[in-house]
Structures are given as structure tokens and as C-alpha cells.
């Protein structure tokens, strides 16, 4: 049975003005462009991908499994996934289709907002017994069904979890205006062909050594837990902070009910496929220094060498070589409560590393050695920063990270 939402409205426009626009890659160097000849076929092994996701869910007999999908995207994946769920002894609960944006210009936004709110509340009641769900490409947390499942993750806990795997779609404005969900293109390079993106993401899903990934992340987390963390870059980033007792989100691919029963934080319950990143909202009062983004986008304009200075976690200085007014305009529009450091993220997946994707950065910075530094609301990470504004996709490739003075990452390459 395929359930179709009549009020499942993706409220992308509701985010305008308080969530920062997807950024141009905030990167510090441009490697050699990827070769354009001999492109792999535009073919995805949906059966293998579906089986891998079911394997990572480690479904238990009788668990109820649901999918949330955007019509027209990954449709060939759906039957393979549903069959694999049944093979595992779990219960296939079908698919909820989102209402695919963009919407007709004559639709009343108030009607859509009302529909969004009512659908979300109804879905919370309707989906309470769902044990595992898959958010397929095109689904995002602004959608009623997706948001309802997030609310249940936060409020009901237990073995409940979701799989969130992103992809790309060059043929419709899914995810962002370029259609390249999660891809940051380096300055001076063209967007990568879909065939290349498909091949990279599929390989990362099917071939990532999850045991090795988990072990590397564990060692870094153990070292950083009580350490003074310092991040520097040749462009001038020099920022220090401590994690203290904050949750450290570990995307290691483990989507099992067993893990969830151990009391995993909310974002650990929303398991990313492919995995690779760790994330933490540092104790705000410990954040000191500056972050320099050589190339980034602010207030819909390109900016060069944007420099954000933090004192006790709060933004206390803004400069830029080109476009300082655009940085200031975006931050001026944010509430005072959100003008703080948001999070530190570090990628560990070698199959998503910049060496694998010259000219672009894959999958939200989950690749080995990629650093992500954010601004604004970090409540979902367990932080204390509130307010309706955040940026989380500013990426740096050549950082050095020390933990209590011991080097772990040197110029974007792990040394431990």
C-alpha cells in the first residue's frame, strides 16, 4: 500500500530569512579538476543499496518500517527496499509521498502553512508505532511526515530510528537551487556530472569499511572529550574550544535498534547513509578565536575571506576582503540569541574524501579530513544557542587540528 499525503507540504519558503542559504564552498584550495572522459554509466544498483541499508538497520522480527519519498526520485529503489525489509522478517508499512515543490504561484501560503501544521500533528499520532523509517532523497525536515518522525525520535526514544540518505538530482530544484544536494563545488570548477556523483555515493554506501570508520572516530572522540581543541588553517582560522560534557554525534552507519536502546542522542538516531562525520556543539563559553572562510556565500552574494571572530562563543567581529557588507547583512537579520558558534564537524570517510572528488566536496563534508564550522542555533546538537538562524555547510579542507597540543589532522590529512 502506498500512502499519499494530501497535506504533506514541504515548506521550503518558510525557511527563507532565518536559515542561511546553501553556501558556495568555503574552501581554501582547488585541486585538479576531475576527468570528463570515460564517465561511468548513469546506473545505480538499487537492489544492492537497498540491501545495504537494511543490513545497517539490523532489523528485528516484527519491526515496522516506513519510507518517506519524493515522487519521481529513487522510485526504482522502493520495491527493492520493501522486499529486503520483508526478507529480514520486518513489517513493510509502505511509503508516504511528500507534496513535491515548487508549488503553483496562485497557491495561498497561509493554506500551505496550516496544512503543514495539521499534517505534522496528525503524523505524530499516526506514526507512533513505526520502529524504523527511511528518508529518501527529496525528503527533508521541513516536511510534515519527516518532522513528525523527528519529534518521535526526540520524545519517544526506545529503539526508534530513521535512515537519512541524501543523493543528488540535477534535473529538479530538490534540496537547493542547483539541484546538487550536499555537493559543494570549488571555485573555478564546473559542477560534477551526475554520473560521477552517483558512482561516488554508491561506492561510499556499498564499500565503506564501517568497522574501521567506527574505530577511527572512537579514537578521536576519546581524545577530544576532555581536551583543548584547536583548529587552524593557512588562511587564518585559529579557533579554540572544549566539548566538555556535550553530546558528540557519531555518524558511523550503525542504525541498529541495539544502538538506540543505549540512549543515543537525537541526531545519532537519524542515521546518515553513507556515514562519516562526527559533530559537536562545544561549550559556548569556551569558544575563542576566529574562523576564515576563503570563499563563501552570504546574503546570496559571494564573499572573499570572510572572517568571523568569537569571544566566549559569541560573534564579536566581522570582516571580509570582498563583500563584508553581505556578511554583515545576513548576521544583522539574525536574532541576537543566534549570533554564536554553532558546531564543529569532522569527516572520516575515505571514500568521500577530497582526493576522491577533485573539484568538489561530497556529501556535506563527511569525507576524511573535511572540517565543518557552523554558526547559530545548535539546539538539535544539545547546545544552548537558540534563535531562528543557522549555517552549517561552511567547509574547510586544509585545517590542522590539535587536541591538548597533539596533532591529529595536519593540513587536511589525518596523522593519527
Q: Tens of pLDDT along 321-341?
A: 999 999 999 999 999 999 999
Residue 193 within any structural domain of the chain = no
- Answer whether the bond into residue 100 is a cis peptide, omega within 30°: no
pLDDT value at position 218?
98
Q: Calculate ∠ Cα 186-191-193, nearest 5°.
A: 135
* CA dihedral (407, 410, 415, 416) positive or negative: positive
Residue 342 within any structural domain of the chain = yes
- Which long-range CB contacts under 8 A does 328-335 form with residues at least 24 apart? 329/298, 329/299, 330/20, 330/298, 330/299, 333/17, 333/299, 333/389, 334/18, 334/376, 334/387, 334/389, 335/387, 335/388, 335/389
Q: Which residues contact 281 (CB under 8 A, 6 or more apart)?
A: 246, 247, 342, 343, 378, 381, 382, 383, 384, 385
Average pLDDT over residues 104-111: 94
Residue 327 within any structural domain of the chain = yes
Give the end of a domain, one of 131, 166, 182.
182
Could you tell me the residue range of the domain that residue 119 belongs to?
A: 2-19+43-182
Structural domains of the chain, count: 2
Pair 113, 170 in one domain: yes
Q: Taking a C-beta distance cutoff of 8 angstroms, is the pair 21, 184 a contact?
A: no
Q: Give the model confidence (pLDDT) of 132-181 as tens digits.
A: 999 988 788 888 999 999 999 999 888 999 998 877 654 454 444 445 66
Residue 222 within any structural domain of the chain = yes
Average pLDDT over residues 41-49: 86
pLDDT value at position 74?
86
Residue 290 within any structural domain of the chain = yes
Where residue 112 falls among pLDDT bands split at 50, 70, 90? very high
Looking at per-residue pLDDT, the higher value among 35 and 191 belongs to 191
Pair 305, 169 in one domain: no
Q: Taking a C-beta distance cutoff of 8 angstroms, is the pair 373, 284 a contact?
A: no
Residue with cell 529518501: 136
Q: Is pLDDT above 80 for 44?
A: yes
Residue 301: strand pairing partners: 298
pLDDT value at position 28?
39
Q: Which of 110, 184, 120, 113 has the alpha carbon at shortest distance from 152?
A: 120
Q: Give the model confidence (pLDDT) of 218-245 as tens digits.
A: 999 999 999 999 999 999 999 999 999 9
Q: Taking a C-beta distance cutoff of 8 angstroms, is the pair 217, 280 a contact?
A: no
pLDDT value at position 1?
40
Residue 108 within any structural domain of the chain = yes
Average pLDDT over residues 30-48: 64
Say how far apart CA 93 and CA 363 lie, in whole Å.
29
Q: Is pLDDT above 70 for 9?
A: no
Q: Which residues contact 222 (CB under 8 A, 6 or more apart)?
A: none
Residue 38 within any structural domain of the chain = no
Pair 216, 169 in one domain: no
Say how far apart CA 410 and CA 231 lie, in whole Å.
10
Residue 197 within any structural domain of the chain = no
pLDDT value at position 195?
81
Q: Is pLDDT above 90 for 281?
A: yes
Q: Is pLDDT above 50 for 19?
A: no
Pair 13, 97 in one domain: yes
Say how far apart CA 197 and CA 19 lie, in whole Å.
26
Question: Average pLDDT of the chain?
Answer: 88
Pair 149, 52 in one domain: yes
Pair 133, 73 in one domain: yes
Query: What Cα–Cα distance (Å) separates residue 158 from each residue in 111, 177, 259, 260, 379?
Result: 35, 37, 10, 6, 21
10 Å CB burial of residue 368 (0-12, 13-18, 19+) is: buried
Give the end of a domain, one of 163, 182, 201.
182
Tell me, what CATH number does 134's domain have? 3.40.50
Q: Give the model confidence (pLDDT) of 349-387 as tens digits.
A: 999 999 999 999 999 999 999 999 999 999 999 999 999
Within a 10 A sphere around the Cβ of 245, how many other Cβ atoms?
9
| Cell numbers for 96 | 508516504
Q: Taking a C-beta distance cutoff of 8 angstroms, is the pair 147, 12 a contact?
A: no
Say how far apart CA 346 and CA 348 lie, in whole Å.
7
Pair 167, 99 in one domain: yes
Pair 87, 140 in one domain: yes
Give the end of a domain, one of 182, 197, 226.
182
Pair 246, 171 in one domain: no
pLDDT value at position 102?
78
Within a 10 A sphere around the Cβ of 198, how many other Cβ atoms?
19
Query: What Cα–Cα distance (Å) separates residue 198 from each residue in 45, 94, 168?
Result: 10, 25, 8
Average pLDDT over residues 32-59: 79
Pair 151, 227 in one domain: no
Pair 220, 349 in one domain: yes
Say how far apart CA 370 and CA 202 lie, in whole Å.
20
Where residue 41 falls among pLDDT bands split at 50, 70, 90? low
pLDDT value at position 93?
98
Pair 162, 295 in one domain: no
| Cell numbers for 165 | 540518505
Amino acid at each position: 500500500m502506498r500512502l499519499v499525503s494530501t497535506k504533506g507540504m514541504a515548506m521550503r519558503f518558510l525557511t527563507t530569512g532565518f536559515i542561511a542559504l546553501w553556501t558556495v564552498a568555503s574552501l581554501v584550495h582547488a585541486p585538479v579538476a576531475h576527468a570528463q572522459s570515460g564517465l561511468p554509466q548513469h546506473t545505480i544498483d538499487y537492489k544492492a543499496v537497498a540491501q545495504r541499508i537494511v543490513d545497517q538497520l539490523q532489523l528485528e522480527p516484527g519491526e515496522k518500517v516506513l519510507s518517506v519519498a519524493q515522487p519521481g526520485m529513487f522510485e526504482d529503489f522502493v520495491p527493492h527496499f520493501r522486499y529486503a525489509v520483508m526478507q529480514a522478517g520486518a513489517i513493510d508499512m509502505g511509503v508516504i509521498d511528500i507534496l513535491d515543490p515548487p508549488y503553483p504561484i496562485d497557491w495561498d501560503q497561509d493554506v500551505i502553512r496550516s496544512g503543514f501544521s495539521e499534517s505534522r500533528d496528525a503524523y505524530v499520532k499516526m506514526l507512533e508505532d513505526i520502529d524504523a523509517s527511511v528518508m529518501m532523497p527529496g525528503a527533508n525536515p521541513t516536511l510534515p511526515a519527516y518532522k513528525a518522525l523527528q519529534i518521535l525520535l526526540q520524545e519517544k526514544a526506545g529503539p526508534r530510528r530513521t535512515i537519512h540518505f541524501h543523493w543528488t538530482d540535477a534535473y529538479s530544484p530538490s534540496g537547493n537551487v542547483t539541484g546538487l544536494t550536499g555537493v559543494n563545488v570549488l571555485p573555478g570548477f564546473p559542477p560534477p556530472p551526475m554520473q560521477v556523483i552517483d558512482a561516488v555515493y554508491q561506492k561510499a554506501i556499498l564499500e565503506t569499511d564501517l568497522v574501521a570508520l567506527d574505530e577511527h572516530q572512537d579514537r578521536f572522540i576519546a581524545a577530544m572529550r576532555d581536551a583543548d581543541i584547536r583548529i587552524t588553517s593557512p588562511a587564518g582560522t585559529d579557533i579554540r574550544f572544549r566539548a566538555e560534557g556535550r553530546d558528540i554525534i557519531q555518524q558511523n552507519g550503525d542504525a541498529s535498534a541495539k544502538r538506540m536502546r543505549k540512549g543515543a542522542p537525537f541526531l545519532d538516531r537519524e542515521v546518515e547513509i553513507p556515514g562519516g562525520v562526527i559533530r559537536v556543539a562545544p561549550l559556548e563559553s569556551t569558544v575563542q578565536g576566529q574562523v576564515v572562510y576563503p570563499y563563501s556565500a552570504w546574503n546570496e552574494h559571494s564573499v572573499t575571506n570572510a572572517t568571523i571572530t568569537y569571544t566566549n562563543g559569541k560573534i564579536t567581529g566581522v570582516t571580509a576582503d570582498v563583500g563584508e557588507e553581505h556578511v554583515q547583512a545576513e548576521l544583522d537579520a539574525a536574532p541576537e540569541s543566534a549570533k554564536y558558534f554553532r558546531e564543529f564537524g569532522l569527516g572520516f570517510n575515505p571514500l568521500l574524501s577530497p582526493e576522491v572528488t577533485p573539484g568538489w566536496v561530497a556529501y556535506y563534508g563527511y569525507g576524511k579530513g573535511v572540517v565543518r564550522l557552523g554558526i547559530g542555533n545548535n539546539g538539535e546538537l544539545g547546545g544552548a544557542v537558540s534563535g531562528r538562524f543557522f549555517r552549517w555547510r561552511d567547509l574547510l579542507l586544509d585545517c590542522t587540528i590539535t587536541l591538548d597540543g597533539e596533532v591529529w589532522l595536519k593540513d587536511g590529512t589525518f596523522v593519527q
